[in-house]
Structures are given as structure tokens and as C-alpha cells.
Chain A
Amino acid sequence: MSGDERTARFEQAFLCHLDAAYNLARWLTRSAQDAEDLVQKSFLRAFEHYDSFRGDSPRAWLLAIVRNACYSHLRRRAPSGETAEFDERIHSPETSAGDPEAVALREFDGKRLAEALEDLPDEYREALVLRELEEMSYKEIAAVLGIPIGTVMSRLNRGRDRLRACLAGEAAKEPRR
């Protein structure tokens, strides 16, 4: 395979996943500029390692590289462990999700939902983004995150519970419009 051919094949297999790569990087870093830089770097890295790619999902393989690049970047930027940890006191609602008072999910506009998702701890946010926005299968998500499928299931479960609890908590605290 000539160099040109290799490049062409790589582009054909991977460039169609550029938006997915960008979306994940944007949700993980919360910055458009960082996301662009990291996507560019990740494509180069994937290209370097293209010969070792043997899986059945180019998208999962690429996103695993993007994710790794994002976390390395975030670690470099916040070496003193100041990455946002989930804080039960801030994020948990005062009423439980099962409380009949608590849930009126439909009343929320998209902005608040996006904010709530952005506030979730990384491990839940990334799983939800891959599932709901990229509509990936559990198997693909497992490959991106490097965790077993059972863990994907419990992360999504817990992530959704927390997201719902956050929204429900806001509903209980803030006056209805």
C-alpha cells in the first residue's frame, strides 16, 4: 500500500467520525478551542497507529484516542487534582427522585438540561454523551471507555439517576414558571 493510498483509506474510514470526535472532546473539555486542537492531535495519533487498528469499529477506536487525549490534557491543566468531583451536597436534590413532588421534568428548557449534563462527573457524562448523542451500542461504549459492558450499564443507570435527581432537585427548589 503506497503512502497516498494509506492516507486515502485512513481518511475514508475516519474523517466521517470527525463530528463524533469533536462532540466528545467538546463535552469532556468544555472548550471549543481545546476540542479542536485535541481532535486534530487525535487524528494524527490515530494515523500513526493506523496499522495497529484491527477492531471492527473505527469510531470506537478513534473516540478512545480522543478521550485519552482529553484526559491527558485536563490532567496537565489541573495537576493539583482540582478536576470537578461530584459533590453530593451541591448536586443532590433535597427531595428524592421518587418523591411525587419532585419530578416535573418537562418544565425544563434545554439549556438547564445541558448544564446539568455538563455538571455530571466525567464518568457519567462521557457514558451519556456516547449513548444519547452518538447513539453508540454498549459494546462500542465499552471499547471507548475501556470498561466491561456491565459497567457501561451501571454507569448509564447511575448517570441518568443523578441527572434526573439534579433536575428534580432544581424543580423542587425553584418556583414554577
Chain B
Amino acid sequence: MNCDRAKSLLSAHLDGELDAVNDRDLQEHLRACTACQREEDQLRVLQRMIRSDAPRHRAAEGLTARVRTSLRNAAANAEAPEKPLPQHAPERRRWLWQWGFSAAAIAAAVVAAWIGSTVTARRAAADYETEELISAHVRSLLADHLTDVPSSDQHTVKPWFAGKVDFAPPVRDLSAQGFPLIGGRLDYVWGQAVAALVFQRNKHVINVFVWPPPAGTAAPEPTLTRRGYNMVAWKQGELTLCAVSDLNLTELQQFAGEYRGQ
């Protein structure tokens, strides 16, 4: 093992995250190389310093209580429509009108609040998902990590996902339609593993994210444009697919149509 290679592995060695084979080779190198030994010592000191001197910020006293309260409120709002409205049984007829009016007003207010909160919640959730998908797309371009399995052969890409995700993503060969397959990648969105299939249209990269939506989630917005990126989403069997690209929307929709087999 040379020094460059050894240096690139030192951090993982220090963190106890290096595999056995590399770790053995590295230790062998360290025994022979004082420069790398010194490097290791410095990193060790640095690690101790960070742990002892950089503050792990602690939340202020009241934050837990505030979070709890807001969770309870959110839960109560979510349940509001299921709770029966207070039953009013006016004994005297002349009160009936008054009660009738106020009950109707309460009902209207509750329904309006409920619709408002679910619509906002859904929109917030959808926004969040959209942002995450765009981030994943951008990340794949920036981090120089477009594919884990670079291949234009669907029969190579599809089996690659076996054992990495617990579903089989549909992979299409659309090179005849002008959308050649570049490969596949395992990505993390919302902290969960999703399959990403990478296609190209001229100089534009198209990421197709595939995941099984959790039960009870709303269907994705069919098309969306955000920050210059276009997204086209659809359902295919049990899976949700979403194509993200800076390609123009018309061509991306054409791509999605071909992908679905229409």
C-alpha cells in the first residue's frame, strides 16, 4: 500500500469503519511508514479535540415541551372531523333557531378548519417530497455520482437492484425513441432507499425515481415545474415513478408516455 492510499483510508480506520482486509494492509503500512504514523497521530488528536472542545449544542429547556404541544395540536387537528359535534337538544322551541344557527356555524367552522389544515398539510407534504426529489436529482449531477451500475442494457440494470431495494423497478429501453439508458443508481430520498434510473436526451439527464408509496399516501402531482426542473410522475402497478430533469416539459411528458408504454 502506498502513502496516498493509506492516507485516504486513515479516517475510516480511526472511526472503526474500515473493512478487515484494508485495515490489515493499512496497519502493515503504518508500522513501516513514520510519515503516515504521524498523520494518524494528528488525526487522533484532532478527533479528541473535536469531541472535547466543540460544543454539542443542547436544546433550551422548554423546547421539548413546545414540540410536544405542537404534536398534540397536529394530532387533534387531524382527528377533528371524526369527533361528533356537540349535540344540542333545545327544550324550548324558540331556542331552536338560535341553536340551529350556532351549531351550523360551529360545524361550518370545524369543516373549514379541517379542510384548511388537511389541504395545507398535504401541500406541505407534497412540497417536501418535491424538494427532496429535486435535491436528489441535483445531487446526482453535482456529486459526480450519476450511476452505480453504468449500463445501457436494461437486463443488466434491472437485476442490479435485486437485494438492494425490496421491489423490482421497471426498466425500459427507450434508445430507439431517443432516450438512451445510462444506468442505475441507489439513492436515498426521505431517508429511504429508492431506485434511480438514469436516461439521457441530448445533453439533458433524466433521473427516474422509483419507489413503493406507503399505503394511504395521495397520488403524486402528475406534472410540476420547480426551480427550472420539470417533474412528471405516474403510477405503474404498485410503484410510483417520477421523472426529474431540466429537459423541457413536452419532451419529458413524451418520455414518460413512452416509459409507461403508451
Is A151 a contact of B49 with CB atoms below 8 Å? no
Is A106 a contact of B45 with CB atoms below 8 Å? yes
Distance to closest chain B CB from A11 (angstroms): 7
Is B67 a contact of A43 with CB atoms below 8 Å? yes
**Does B87 interact with chain A (Cβ within 8 Å)?**
no
Is B75 a contact of A6 with CB atoms below 8 Å? yes
A153 with B17: in contact, given A49-B125, A146-B135 (CB under 8 Å)? yes
Q: How many A-B residue pairs have CB under 8 A?
A: 174
Is B74 a contact of A44 with CB atoms below 8 Å? yes
Q: Which of A32, A40, A53 contacts B70 (CB 8 A)?
A: A40
**What residue in chain A is nearest B139 (Cβ atoms)?**
A146
Is B78 a contact of A3 with CB atoms below 8 Å? yes
**Does A114 interact with chain B (Cβ within 8 Å)?**
yes
Q: Cβ of A105: which chain B residues have Cβ within 8 Å of it?
A: 42, 45-46, 49
A146 with B131: in contact, given A49-B190, A114-B54, A132-B51 (CB under 8 Å)? no
**Does B63 interact with chain A (Cβ within 8 Å)?**
yes
Q: Cβ of B11: which chain A residues have Cβ within 8 Å of it?
A: 153, 156-157, 160
Distance to closest chain B CB from A53 (angstroms): 8
A39 with B59: in contact, given A153-B12, A156-B11 (CB under 8 Å)? yes
Q: Which of A98, A142, A146 contacts B35 (CB 8 A)?
A: A98
Interchain CA distance A99-B92 in the complex, whole Å: 95
**What residue in chain B is nearest A35 (Cβ atoms)?**
B57
Interchain CA distance A21-B79 in the complex, whole Å: 27
Is A128 a contact of B35 with CB atoms below 8 Å? no
| Total interface residues in chain A, CB < 8 Å | 70
Interchain CA distance A19-B58 in the complex, whole Å: 6
Distance to closest chain B CB from A105 (angstroms): 5
Q: Which of B8, B51, B124, B216 contacts A157 (CB 8 A)?
A: B8
Q: Mark A61-95, 1 if CB is under 8 A from B, else 0.
A: 10011001000100000000000000000000000
Is B51 a contact of A133 with CB atoms below 8 Å? yes
Distance to closest chain A CB from B102 (angstroms): 27
Is B190 a contact of A151 with CB atoms below 8 Å? no
A164 with B56: in contact, given A18-B67, A48-B121 (CB under 8 Å)? no
Distance to closest chain A CB from B121 (angstroms): 6
A139-167 at interface with B (beta carbon < 8 Å):
142-144, 146-148, 151, 153-154, 156-157, 160, 163-164, 167
Interchain CA distance A97-B68 in the complex, whole Å: 47
**Does A15 interact with chain B (Cβ within 8 Å)?**
yes
Interchain CA distance A144-B189 in the complex, whole Å: 10
Interchain CA distance A157-B42 in the complex, whole Å: 13
Q: Mark B55-98, 1 if CB is under 8 A from A, else 0.
A: 11111100110111011101110110000000000000000000
Is B50 a contact of A51 with CB atoms below 8 Å? no
Distance to closest chain A CB from B218 (angstroms): 12
Is A151 a contact of B63 with CB atoms below 8 Å? no
The 15 listed contacts between A and B (C-beta, < 8 Å) are A3-B78, A15-B67, A22-B57, A32-B60, A44-B71, A49-B190, A52-B192, A54-B192, A98-B39, A106-B49, A146-B136, A146-B187, A153-B17, A154-B8, A160-B11
